[in-house]
Amino acid sequence: MVPLGKVLAANKLNETEISRELANLAHQISHTLGSYYGMRVLGVDMAVDKKGKVWFIEANTNPVVRRLFKDFGNKQMYQKVLHTQKYIEAMYQ
């Protein structure tokens, strides 16, 4: 896996602006699906094209993010994912 900032910089794209757009889109998607379908944990697949346009690909209702980060050896991100998941589960119990 390659960090988003590195990919955007290599393509001369604005990291701050695109990161903000990705986050906003992810929040809109999670709010909409949460409101209508009661979904609490989602995996949101998005892409950024060469011109910097953000694309929504799909939302996964059973994401495998824990395994993904564990398998790639990113322990810091893996711990963040675990912490966030535990927090979300505690909120809805």
CB 49 within 8 A of CB 41: no
**Rounded CA gap, 15 and 9, in Å?**
7
Q: Decide: pTM greater than 0.75.
A: no
CB count, 10 Å around CB of 69? 19
In this structure, what token pair is assigned to residue 15? 């990291």
pLDDT given for residue 61 in this prediction: 80
* Residue, of 56 and 75, whose pLDDT is higher: 56
Other CB atoms within a 10 A radius of the CB of residue 64 amount to: 11
Q: pLDDT tens digits for 2-57? A: 788 888 999 999 999 999 999 999 989 988 988 877 777 788 889 999 899 999 99
